[in-house]
Structures are given as structure tokens and as C-alpha cells.
């Protein structure tokens, strides 16, 4: 059974919003603030319409509708996955109890914090990507950018719904703050570091959607396990949309690697910059940067807060139900990354509950490795011996056990002076960034593509690559 959204309402939703007039009015008064945020902080390229997917349903089939829409008329809505009336909490001290339909008072502050931190990332990425439209490599890519942007906007709606529906006045104030903080702002920055970095070019965008959106996938995966059922159902549906964001990142980098490899073979050289492409070593540096700042998003290797969230049933593990243990972890231990007593990069044994950030980060890293394997298959397929690799977990970290030390990408601890001397080999330099930016000339003509990236194998929703995905204003 599925619930179809009510599109006659101002705010499309499958939560029977019309039955709760107070909530409906509160959200309707937030809506113009959202729209003015979108106008001032959302995509800056003027468009007439864009071929977009709009969520209309949460069922297994046909959950989305595709069509050309003016972006400011996009139907942002509130969609929760179907409720399973028999759902029980799968972990922690409440394991086996029915999932909570109402907010458990004792966990109010913790849940509010988790929702606000998640909610803050959604509009942040829209702000970071605001100016990319002006330099899109094709209309296909432009459309994908806007698709990601409107859905991040919808994810903000998803979190704001929870804040308004369950957290009273404080929740409404937090919802305002979500529009007030801005990525990179001096006085009111976004909460998490990676969401205050710039996304100045399309290589950064693809790296962001590969590495940083993937962090989002893992965070949502843990919240999907939450004993607080409305949060669980919200995140479950967000994950569905998130899959496309991962796809944009994965295939975006595929296509950059493919183009670079093609030119390397054709001209028998690593020096593809003069040929208008991105050299492999620059790709590796971008990868190093985005992977390491995304690792920071998982927090410290050990965390008592996260242990408490787990025990309380607020935030589970990735694939909680598939884990073969007691789902309470009170007697278990885990090896986490740590500095050893003699200051070396190594591991230490801690209580499993304390090490949950490390558990999640490891799931994430092994997922990231899949992309690297893909890109290396493209290089191998082109007959090239070079390979890309993920940097070591200790590399370029600002959060956690390795924040105070320096490490090379292979995980060797190095003195600060060596780091300063050599970091240009490992992280994008101003010269690299300037080169990448110099390639970012817009290709807004139907069926055409920029020289630094290969065209996609397929279009969107069965449409060809040369479809009119975007009509510019």
C-alpha cells in the first residue's frame, strides 16, 4: 500500500497535514522564508525550466514524476516512508519495544540536536553549489546539478517537518536558524566543517557528491534505524533520493577519468593539461582532499555521545538488522584508529559502544573504495598502469585522533616541516585549482559536452544525452 501525495495542498505531503491545522499553518508560514532563501542562496543561473524528478509517492514503483518545471515552482513536499505498524526498536536498551510514534520526552534534546545537524547539511550543499550552473559541462550535467539541489531543498523540508511537528517553539526557532546560517559565513557558518568549504568547480562537485553526499547516506542510514519512527521513516525516503546524488558523483568521476585516460593514451603522455583535460595526479589530489574532509564528518574515533545515542535507541549502526550480535554491545570491544603510546599511527582497543563512529567510518571507507576500484578499471581498460587510491585515514585530518599530527597519504607519520614542504604533492595547489577552473567554460548547447569530460553512457529517465534537459531563461 502506498500513500499518494496531496497536490491540491500548498505543501504536498503524505502525512495528512490538513488534519493538523496548527502544524499546517506553522509550515505555511515557514514556506515563504524557504522560498526567499532559495531565491537568494539557491542556483544563480537563470532558467526557464528544467527536466526534474519530483517525488509524488513513496511506494516501491512510480514514486517520482519527471517533467519540465520552473525551478521556483518545484513541489517541495513532506514524504515519509510507509509506516510499518509492527516495527520494533532493533538495538540498544529499548530493543524489542514498539518504535516510538511520539517524541520520547527524555530524549527530546538529543533527537532535536541530531535532526538539526542533519538538517543543516541539506541547504548548505545548495549554497556551496550555487554558482556551478554558469560553468556546466553539458545540459545533462546542469540538469543533474539542479536535481540534486531541489532534492537537498526537499531534505531540508523533511527535517523542518520533524522540528515543527514534534519540537514545539524550539523546533520552529531551529527551523528558522536553518535558513539563517550560511555555508562559509563568518558570523553564522554551517555546523559541520566540510559544509563550509567551497564547491568552486565541477570536479569538486563530482567529488562532493561522491564523498560528502555519501557521508550523508551513512548518517541517514543510522537515523533510519532510529527508535523514533517519524525520523526513521523520513530518513528511509531521503535515502531513496540520495541514490541519485551518489550516481551523479560516481559517474561524474568515471567520465573525468575516462576522458583523461583517453587523452593520455592518444598522446602517449601524462601531461593532459595542455590538451584541456585534468591530469591524473590532480584528480588524485582532489580525491585526497574530499575523502579526508569527509572522514572528519564522522567525528572522533571514540564518542560517548554516540554511545549514548545507540544505547537510547536514537541512532543505530549501518545495516543494524543484518549485524550478527546482541545489538546492545555492552560487553563487546572494537579496535579503533589511534595514536599509540609512542606516538605512532596505530590502533587501540575500546568498548564497542564508544567506537561506533569508527564502525560507521569503516563502512563508509569500504564503500568509497568501490568507486576507486571502478575508476581503476577504467584506467586498466585503457591500458594504463597508473592507479588512483584512497588516502590513509590519518591523512589531512582536522577531527579525531590524528587531528594534531601530520601523515602522508600512505599513512606514514611525518614531521610538520615535511608536511609543509610536501603537501603540494598531495592536496590541490592554487595552480591545480586555477587550471581546473580554467577548464570550466559552460557548454549550454544541446547535445554538446566540454572537452575535459566524457559524455554519459545514458541520459536521464530513458531520454537521450542530447535531450533538452534545461531551457535557459
Which three cell numbers, joined as nine digits, stand for 347? 590502533
Binding mask 85-124 for Fe ion (x = CB under 5 A): -------------------------------------x--
Binding mask 160-199 for Fe ion (x = CB under 5 A): ----------------------------------------
- Binding test (CB under 5 A) with Fe ion, winner from 155, 182, 285, 392: 155
Determine the interface stretch with Fe ion among 136-144, 207-215, 272-280, 367-375 (rule: CB under 5 A): 207-215
| Least Å from the CB of residue 224 to Fe ion | 13
Quote the radius of gyration of the chain (alpha carbons, Å): 23
Determine the interface stretch with Fe ion among 95-103, 145-153, 298-306, 388-396 (rule: CB under 5 A): 145-153
| Least Å from the CB of residue 243 to Fe ion | 9
Binding mask 211-240 for Fe ion (x = CB under 5 A): --x---------------------------
Judged by beta carbon, residue 113 or residue 328, the one nearer Fe ion is: 113
361 touches Fe ion (CB under 5 A):
no
| Least Å from the CB of residue 205 to Fe ion | 12
| Least Å from the CB of residue 401 to Fe ion | 28
| Least Å from the CB of residue 245 to Fe ion | 4
Judged by beta carbon, residue 122 or residue 141, the one nearer Fe ion is: 122
- Binding test (CB under 5 A) with Fe ion, winner from 233, 245, 255, 315: 245
Determine the interface stretch with Fe ion among 51-59, 78-86, 209-217, 412-420 (rule: CB under 5 A): 209-217
| Least Å from the CB of residue 210 to Fe ion | 11
Burial of 326 (0-12, 13-18, 19+ CB in 10 A): exposed
> Which residue in this structure is represented by grid cell 550480535?
325
Determine the interface stretch with Fe ion among 17-25, 149-157, 172-180, 394-402 (rule: CB under 5 A): 149-157
* Residue of 251, 206, 201, 203 whose CA lies nearest to 456: 251
Distance CA 272, CA 116 (A): 44
Q: What are the CA-CA distances from residue 58 to residues 23, 55, 311 (Å)?
A: 22, 8, 30
| Cβ-contact 288, 388 below 8 angstroms | no
Determine the interface stretch with Fe ion among 63-71, 178-186, 242-250, 428-436 (rule: CB under 5 A): 242-250
Total residues contacting Fe ion by CB under 5 A comes to 6
Distance CA 168, CA 113 (A): 14
Determine the interface stretch with Fe ion among 19-27, 205-213, 291-299, 321-329 (rule: CB under 5 A): 205-213
Q: What are the CA-CA distances from residue 61 to residues 47, 65, 243, 282, 457 (Å)?
A: 30, 11, 15, 41, 24
Judged by beta carbon, residue 195 or residue 402, the one nearer Fe ion is: 195
| Least Å from the CB of residue 220 to Fe ion | 8
Determine the interface stretch with Fe ion among 94-102, 179-187, 245-253, 423-431 (rule: CB under 5 A): 245-253
| Cβ-contact 230, 115 below 8 angstroms | no
Q: Which of residues 8-67 bind Fe ion (CB under 5 A)?
A: none
> Which residue in this structure is represented by grid cell 553539458?
138
Which three cell numbers, joined as nine digits, stand for 244? 541519485
Burial of 225 (0-12, 13-18, 19+ CB in 10 A): buried
* Residue of 130, 75, 141, 53 whose CA lies nearest to 470: 141
| Least Å from the CB of residue 197 to Fe ion | 16
Tell me the backbone φ, ψ of residue 103, rounded to 5 degrees.
Answer: -70, 125
Q: Which of residues 414-453 bind Fe ion (CB under 5 A)?
A: none
| Least Å from the CB of residue 148 to Fe ion | 6
CA 182, distance to chain mean position in Å, is 17
Q: DSSP assignment of 346-395, as one string?
A: EEEEEETTTTHHHHHHHHHHHHHHHHHHHHHHHHHHTT------PPPTTT
- List residues near Fe ion by CB under 5 A: 122, 152, 155, 213, 242, 245
Amino acid at each position: 500500500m502506498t500513500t499518494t501525495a496531496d497536490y491540491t495542498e500548498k505543501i504536498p505531503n503524505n502525512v495528512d497535514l490538513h488534519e493538523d491545522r496548527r502544524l499546517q499553518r506553522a509550515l505555511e508560514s515557514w514556506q515563504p522564508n524557504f522560498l526567499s532563501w532559495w531565491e537568494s542562496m539557491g542556483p544563480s543561473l537563470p532558467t526557464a525550466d528544467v527536466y526534474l524528478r519530483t517525488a509524488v509517492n513513496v511506494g516501491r514503483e512510480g514514486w517520482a514524476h519527471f517533467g519540465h518545471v520552473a525551478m521556483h515552482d518545484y513541489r517541495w513536499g513532506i514524504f515519509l516512508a510507509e509506516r510499518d505498524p509492527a516495527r520494533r526498536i532493533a538495538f540498544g536498551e529499548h530493543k524489542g519495544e514498539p518504535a516510538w510514534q511520539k517524541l520520547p520526552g527524555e530524549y527530546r534534546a538529543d533527537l532535536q540536536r541530531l535532526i538539526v545537524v542533519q538538517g543543516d547539511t541539506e541547504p548548505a550543499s545548495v549554497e556551496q553549489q550555487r554558482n556551478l550552473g554558469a560553468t556546466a559541462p553539458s545540459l545533462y550535467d546542469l540538469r543533474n546539478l539542479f536535481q540534486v539541489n531541489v532534492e537537498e531543498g526537499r531534505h531540508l523540508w523533511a527535517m523542518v517537518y520533524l522540528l515543527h511537528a514534534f519540537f514545539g517553539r524550539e523546533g520552529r526557532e531551529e527551523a528558522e536558524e536553518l535558513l539563517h546560517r550560511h555555508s562559509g559565513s563568518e558570523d553564522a557558518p554551517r555546523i559541520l566543517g566540510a559544509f563550509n568549504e567551497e564547491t568552486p568547480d565541477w570536479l569538486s562537485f563530482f567529488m562532493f557528491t561522491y564523498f560528502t553526499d555519501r557521508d550523508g547516506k551513512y548518517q541517514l542510514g543510522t537515523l533510519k534505524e532510529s527508535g523514533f519512527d517519524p525520523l526513521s521513516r523520513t530518513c528511509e525516503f531521503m535515502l531513496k533520493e540520495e541514490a541519485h546524488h551518489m550516481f551523479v558523483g560516481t559517474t561524474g568521476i568515471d567520465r573525468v577519468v575516462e576522458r583523461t585516460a583517453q587523452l593520455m593514451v592518444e598522446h602517449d603522455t601524462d601531461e593532459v593539461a595542455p590538451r584541456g583535460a585534468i591530469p591524473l595526479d590532480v584528480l588524485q589530489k582532489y580525491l585526497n582532499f574530499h575523502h579526508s574532509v569527509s572522514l572528519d564528518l564522522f567525528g572522533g574515533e571514540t564518542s560517548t555521545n554516540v554511545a549514548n545515542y545507540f544505547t537510547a535507541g536514537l541512532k543505530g549502526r549501518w545495516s543494524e538488522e543484518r549485524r550478527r550480535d546482541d545489538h546492545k554491545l555492552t560487553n563487546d570491544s572494537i579496535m579503533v584508529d589511534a595514536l599509540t603510546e609512542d606516538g605512532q599511527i596505530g590502533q587501540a582497543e575500546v568498548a564497542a559502544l564508544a567506537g561506533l563512529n569508527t564502525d560507521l567510518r569503516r563502512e563508509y571507507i569500504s564503500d568509497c573504495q568501490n568507486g576507486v576500484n571502478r575508476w581503476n578499471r577504467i584506467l586498466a581498460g585503457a591500458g594504463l598502469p597508473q592507479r588512483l587510491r584512497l588516502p590513509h585515514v590519518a591523512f589531512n585530518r582536522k577531527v579525531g585522533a590524528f587531528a594534531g599530527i601530520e601523515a602522508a597519504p600512505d599513512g606514514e607519520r611525518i614531521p610538520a616541516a615535511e608536511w609543509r614542504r610536501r603537501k603540494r604533492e598531495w592536496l590541490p595547489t592554487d595552480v591545480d585549482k586555477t587550471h581546473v577552473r580554467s577548464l570550466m567554460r559552460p557548454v549550454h548547447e544541446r547535445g554538446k559536452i566540454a572537452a575535459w569530460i566524457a559524455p554519459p553512457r545514458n541520459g536521464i529517465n530513458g531520454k537521450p544525452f542530447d535531450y533538452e534537459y534545461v531551457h535557459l531563461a
